[in-house]
């Protein structure tokens, strides 16, 4: 994909037909005023001066905050450029956002369709949903396998690309079928980011993401968000956030907004680096199952081309066994063993150490950072060589 691809859907956008990097820099920032910062600092507040009736925009710190407002406006501009109806709600973590959608939209007797290979903590909600009397149906992401499960469902949850196996489903196809069956559609867009994929434009009702990952991008905060074009849906999620109290801190919101300025630069560099690493891994005889949606030979590539604008920072692959994978990870010099992804620094882990994912003991999820691609590839090759020698 070309870098800094020109934004397509800019009708009504005051910035006009601008590129993703331009939009990322300016999104959500207030109009310039003399002697004021371009991005106001975080507002630390638990309560506001509130005389008379509570009719103003800010009443209590759990309800709203000016720092959240700027971040949420910025994310909405990235998720749905030029659409004044798009509303974003920020949360204290990605799972706060996931839980808010799932638990605010379903009731006892409803049915929910989930990917059987989605993020394992999302799957951990299955027991909770079932305890509330919700029927949970599950099928894999690949091959649009959720299609036969839609009849009578209240909510269909998609995760594409899936984490950690990087399968891709056809969001347009599934969203159209779900709506025909009377179901809402939510897409976990964490791996793709709004610069890689716009679920609302593909027909989804909700775009959900862990801003902890690439959106904030520096491995130093937790954040989640939900974006929707439907005011009633936004209202129900907002009420859930208020009553459960899953609100972000103002400092985290400010840091996330500040980080957006480099989002396009980071995701472009990471996508290019990930593709370079994936190609290098294909050359290694001890490495199998290399996955990245940007690889022309990847099983997900054809569908990804139709809906993704960038292919993400994550590469997955399998080494012969657990011990081989552990030796490889220990031998890496510029990559941290960590369970997150999307940071400016390369991180990797043997995913089976957590349990819950249907992956081989030697399966590695590698999140590619913004380091120089030659250095990343050289470090991985050297670590693979060392892991092979120590058998």
For residue 347, list its beta bridge partners: 336, 367
DSSP 123-155: HTHHHHHHHTT-EEEEE-SGGGTTGGG-TT-SE
Per-residue pLDDT tens for 95-119?
999 999 999 999 999 999 999 999 9
- The helix, strand and coil proportions of the chain, stated in percent and rounded to the nearest 5, come to 35, 15, 50
> Which of 260, 281, 307 marks a domain boundary?
260
Q: Are residue 330 and residue 349 in the same domain, yes or no?
A: yes
Residue 1 forms part of a structural domain: no
Structural domain of residue 290, as residue ranges?
268-389
Task: Dump pLDDT digits (tens) for 344-380.
Answer: 999 999 999 998 899 999 999 999 999 999 999 999 9
Whether 300 and 233 map to the same domain: the answer is no
Do 159 and 65 lie in a common domain? yes
- Output the CA angle 56-60-65, nearest 5 degrees: 80
Q: How far apart are CA 13 and CA 19, in angstroms?
A: 12
384 lies in some domain:
yes
Task: Give the Cα separation of 185 and 182 in Å (integer).
Answer: 10
Based on the fold, state whether residues 213 and 305 are members of the same structural domain: no
- Residue recorded with tokens 């996330």: 256
* Residue 54 pLDDT: 84
Residues 69 and 100 in one domain: yes
42 pLDDT exceeds 50? yes
Long-range CB contacts (within 8 A, 24+) of 367-370: 367/313, 367/314, 367/340, 367/341, 367/342, 367/343, 368/270, 368/273, 368/274, 368/277, 368/313, 368/314, 368/315, 369/270, 369/273, 369/313, 369/343, 369/344, 369/345, 370/266, 370/269, 370/270, 370/273, 370/344
What was the pLDDT predicted at 12?
A: 36
Q: Please determine, for residue 5, whether its predicted confidence score (pLDDT) is greater than 70.
A: no
Residue 12 lies in a domain: no
Residue 15 lies in a domain: no
79 and 167 assigned to the same domain: yes
**Any idea what the CATH number is for the domain that residue 354 is in?**
3.90.1150.10
282 contacts 290 by C-beta, under 8 angstroms: yes
- Specify if 4 maps to a domain: no
pLDDT tens string 256-274: 999 999 999 999 999 999 9
**Tokens 């001890």 sit on residue:** 286
Given a cut of 80, whether residue 253 has pLDDT beyond it is yes
Please say if the pLDDT value at position 92 is more than 90: yes
Q: Rg (Cα) of the chain, in Å, rounded? A: 21
**What confidence score (pLDDT) does residue 16 get?**
56
User: What is the per-residue pLDDT for 4?
Assistant: 38
- Tell me what the mean pLDDT of segment 320-334 comes to: 98
Which of 260, 283, 311 terminates a domain? The answer is 260
Q: Is residue 69 included in any domain, yes or no?
A: yes
The per-residue pLDDT for 294 is 98
Q: How many separate domains does the chain show?
A: 2
Instruction: Answer yes or no: do 60 and 114 share one domain.
Output: yes
Q: Is the model's pLDDT at 13 over the cut of 60?
A: no
Position 323 pLDDT exceeds 80: yes
- pLDDT in the model for residue 9: 37
């Amino acid at each position: 994909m070309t870098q800094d691809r020109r934004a397509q859907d800019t009708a009504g956008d005051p910035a006009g037909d601008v590129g993703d990097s331009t939009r990322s820099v300016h999104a959500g920032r207030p109009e310039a005023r003399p002697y004021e910062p371009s991005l106001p600092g975080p507002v630390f507040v638990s309560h506001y001066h509130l005389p008379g009736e509570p009719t103003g925009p800010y009443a209590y710190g759990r309800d709203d905050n000016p720092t959240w407002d700027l971040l949420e406006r910025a994310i909405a501009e990235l998720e749905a450029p030029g659409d004044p109806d798009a509303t974003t709600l920020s949360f204290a973590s990605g799972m706060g956002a996931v839980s808010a959608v799932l638990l605010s939209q379903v009731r006892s007797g409803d049915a929910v369709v989930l990917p059987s290979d989605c993020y394992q903590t999302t799957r951990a909600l299955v027991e909770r949903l079932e305890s509330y009397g919700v029927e949970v149906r599950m099928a894999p992401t690949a091959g649009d396998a959720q299609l036969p499960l839609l009849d009578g469902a209240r909510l269909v949850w998609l995760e594409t690309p899936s984490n950690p196996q990087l399968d891709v489903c056809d969001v347009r196809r599934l969203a159209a079928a779900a709506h025909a069956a009377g179901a809402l559609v939510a897409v976990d867009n964490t791996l793709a980011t709004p610069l890689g994929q716009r679920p609302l434009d593909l027909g989804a009702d909700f775009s959900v993401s862990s801003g902890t990952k690439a959106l904030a991008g520096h491995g130093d905060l937790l954040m989640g968000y939900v974006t929707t074009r439907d005011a009633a849906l936004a209202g129900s999620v907002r009420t859930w956030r208020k009553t459960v109290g899953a609100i972000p801190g103002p400092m985290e919101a400010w840091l996330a907004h500040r980080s957006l300025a480099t989002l396009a630069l980071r995701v472009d560099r990471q996508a290019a680096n990930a593709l370079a690493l994936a190609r290098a891994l294909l050359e290694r005889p001890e490495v199998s199952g290399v996955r990245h949606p940007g690889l022309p030979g990847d099983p997900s590539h054809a569908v990804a081309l139709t809906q993704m604008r960038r292919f993400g920072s994550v590469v997955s692959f399998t080494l012969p066994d657990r011990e081989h994978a552990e030796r490889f990870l220990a031998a890496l010099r510029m990559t941290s063993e960590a369970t997150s992804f999307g940071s400016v620094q390369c991180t990797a882990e043997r995913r089976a150490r957590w349990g819950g994912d249907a992956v081989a003991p030697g399966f590695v999820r590698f999140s590619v950072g913004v380091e120089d691609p030659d250095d990343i590839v050289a470090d991985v090759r050297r670590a693979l060589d060392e892991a092979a020698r120590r058998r």
